[in-house]
Amino acid sequence: MRVANIPVVAFAWLSLATAILVIGLKSVAYWITGSVGLLSDALESVANVVGASAALIALTIAARPADDDHQYGHGKAEYFSSGLEGGMIFVAALVIAGAAVERLLHPQPLERIGIGLAVSAIATVLNLAVARVLLAAGRRHHSIALEADARHLMTDVWTSVGVLVGVGAVMMTGLQWLDPAIALVVAANIVRTGVSLVRRSVSGLMDSAMDADEQRVVHSILERYRAEGVQYHALRTRRAGARRFIDFHVLVPGAWTVQRGHDLLERIEADIRAQLANAVILTHLEPVEDPASWRDAALDEETRAP
């Protein structure tokens, strides 16, 4: 599916609509069978609805242009969305674990397993299809909110597969404890996903540097200009949602005219933007012969390629 020309918010609407449909299907599957494993699967989908709603709000805010109060834009709104989704996952895990323990202590036979499995399987296939679309869109638009939503859906897919296997095993073996046992495994898997989402959200809010591969792109471009007698240092990067912020100092011969230095910076910035989308670049021009140009000792470590 082509995602290049589709607005990013449209994918959030797709995610929300799918989450609502899936939770309905999984709830029906639980109602038919009485399986706590299928209940755990349905409860996790509640987090999908909340996460999709938060992603929709966050992406709407992140798309706003910079203003007087937010002069660097609103891109960090996406991290609040993924952080909230991670928190909801923890809540769902606690509910699932509680229901599974109760069922282990008080086993109940499952009913009409075949119909319930069929309904849940339909929901799982739907989740898989939408997750693939969202992941492609998240990578294309460099959106952590969409990517987090997609990876949560993929976890939901694997969770559903595990639940279906567990319920199927009950149907084949008659061992009722397999259903809540699988539910506990599901809860543990959900916690792992929640930790990952929260960690990424905190990392973004703390202005973590760009990925190592992206930093290497910047370094490789700057290294090409050393042949022209150009030096650089004090390179710093950070991410804010889909936007990349890059700043560095460029050192050139002091005899250069302002125009020549300006043209050089324009070329460097254009080369970086050609490789890294949504890059906001700030450059500072300095004379290479002036000792004051090299006094940014606190920033010199940032010039080392990862």
Which pLDDT tens digit goes with each residue over 164-192? 777 677 777 777 777 677 777 777 777 77
In the chain, where are the structural domains located?
8-205, 212-303
Instruction: Indicate the pTM of the whole model.
Output: 0.62
**8-205 and 212-303: same fold?**
no
Q: Is the pLDDT of residue 267 over 90?
A: yes
DSSP annotation string for 233-283: EEEEEEEETTEEEEEEEEEE-TTS-HHHHHHHHHHHHHHHHHHSTTEEEEE
C-alpha 170/C-alpha 178 separation (Å) is: 6
Backbone Cα Rg of the chain: 25
Q: Is the pLDDT of residue 1 over 90?
A: no
Dump pLDDT digits (tens) for 127-163.
888 888 888 887 777 777 777 777 777 777 776 776 6
C-alpha 208/C-alpha 238 separation (Å) is: 5
DSSP 106: S
pLDDT band at 295 (very low <50, low <70, confident <90, very high): confident
DSSP annotation string for 210-237: PPHHHHHHHHHHHHHGGGGT-EEEEEEE
What CATH number does the domain located at 8-205 have?
1.20.1510.10
What CATH number does the domain located at 212-303 have?
3.30.70.1350
C-alpha 205/C-alpha 208 separation (Å) is: 8
Dump pLDDT digits (tens) for 84-137.
777 777 777 777 777 778 777 776 665 555 666 677 778 788 888 888 888 888
